[in-house]
Amino acid sequence: MIDVSKVTKLFGSIKAVNNVSLTLHKGEIIGIIGPDGAGKSTLLRMAAGILQPDSGNLYFDGRPYNDNIYYVKEHNGYMPQRFGLYEDLTVLENIIFFGKIFGMHQKEIQKILPVLWRFSNLEPFKDRLAGKLSGGMKQKLGLACCLVHRPLVLLLDEPTNGVDPVSRREFWRILYDLCVQGVTIMVSTAYLDEAERCNRVALMYNGSFFTVDTPARVKAMIGKPLIEIQSKNPVETEKMLKQNLTYTHAVRSGNAVRVFVDNVDRAKKEISLLCTRHHIGVISIREVIPSLEDTFVESIAKAQ
């Protein structure tokens, strides 16, 4: 549905996006993962046709963006981090407004409304001002406004940022339902657990992708086992390990410290001995299955 080919975007001397290539297939969800300033929003804006690349090419449904920009904008739905809902309009008025922006007649909007109510559960609140909605409901209204013109592609920039866990889960259920209907979705997210729900993920750093693959394959790309150290003082454990050249990438996760190692048995003995020397009480040292977050943090640490 979208093909990004060697795209670069400059802001002055800064390469916000640097020689990026990516293909989105029909009916898939692809997650763009990266720290602040990685270039995620810039990439989404180019995919939406809002920004033009300084070099490279983009294609939408096989058509080049430059020659078909109105077709591109007509057939995608873009939801930025701060979606422009009109808080002094009701839920229904916002949907009608966005439908008319896309040239839809009132009858066409009325025809799609039952579908929008069904997935968003917003019909009981259709006469409520958008400014009076909860954060999760605002996000669902924003999504409904993006979908009113039946786009082929959805471009979502951190759509669940600041939304409670229950609403986040509901929002993703809606995205899955859309994929079943053939809608293609590109979503940037700061939540690594959400990224694991995508068909593919693209890890982005300093404007470039350093891997694009399924979550399972990305988690396996480090090629090393991960061990978790539970101790009575995790802060001191992390500090102590980082001072050792072998474990400089140790990361605290809750009340534990995690680190990728070359050999599990050898690392267990070495870390146990180090903790004893530093008078840190060890509760357990065990091998664990790495999460996408573990892999991402390790990859970023190596890239720096």
Tens of pLDDT, residue by residue over 254-265, are: 889 999 999 999
Q: How far apart are CA 261 and CA 227, in angstroms?
A: 7
1 pLDDT band (50/70/90 cuts)? Answer: very high
pLDDT score, position 190: 78
Q: How far apart are CA 143 and CA 116, in angstroms?
A: 9
pLDDT score, position 299: 83
For residues 194-205, one letter each, b for 16 or more C-beta atoms within 10 angstroms of the residue's C-beta and e for the rest, the string is bbbbbebbbbbb
pLDDT score, position 304: 67
Decide if 237 contacts 229 (C-beta within 8 A).
yes
3-state secondary structure the chain: CEEEEEEEEEECCEEEEEEEEEEECCCCEEEEECCCCCCHHHHHHHHCCCCCCCEEEEEECCEEHHHCHHHHHHCEEEECCCCCCCCCCEHHHHHHHHHHHCCCCHHHHHHHHHHHHHHHCCHHHCCCEHHHCCHHHHHHHHHHHHHCCCCCEEEEECCCCCCCHHHHHHHHHHHHHHHHCCCEEEEECCCHHHHCCCCEEEEEECCEEEEEECHHHHHHCCCCCEEEEEECCHHHHHHHHHCCHHHCCCEEECCEEEEECCCHHHHHHHHHHHHHHCCCCEEEEEEECCCHHHHHHHHHHHHC
Q: How far apart are CA 47 and CA 28, in angstroms?
A: 16
Do you know the residue count of the chain?
A: 304
Average pLDDT for residues 264-284, to the nearest whole number?
95
Instruction: Spell out the domains of the chain, with CATH numbers in brackets.
Output: 2-214 (3.40.50.300), 222-303 (3.30.70)
Residue 39 has pLDDT above 90, yes or no: yes
pLDDT score, position 68: 93
pLDDT score, position 220: 87
Q: Walk across the sheet containing 14-24 and list its strands.
A: 14-24, 2-11, 55-60, 63-64
Q: Point out which residues pair with 3 in neighbouring strands.
A: 23, 59
> What are the tens digits of pLDDT across the range 7-36?
999 999 999 999 999 999 999 999 999 888
What is the reported pTM?
0.87
Residue 99 has pLDDT above 90, yes or no: yes
229 pLDDT band (50/70/90 cuts)? Answer: very high
What number of other Cβ atoms are within 10 A of residue 84's Cβ? Answer: 10
> What are the tens digits of pLDDT across the range 152-211?
999 999 988 877 888 888 888 889 989 989 999 999 987 888 888 999 999 999 999 989
What number of other Cβ atoms are within 10 A of residue 22's Cβ? Answer: 20
Mean pLDDT of the chain: 92
81 pLDDT band (50/70/90 cuts)? Answer: confident
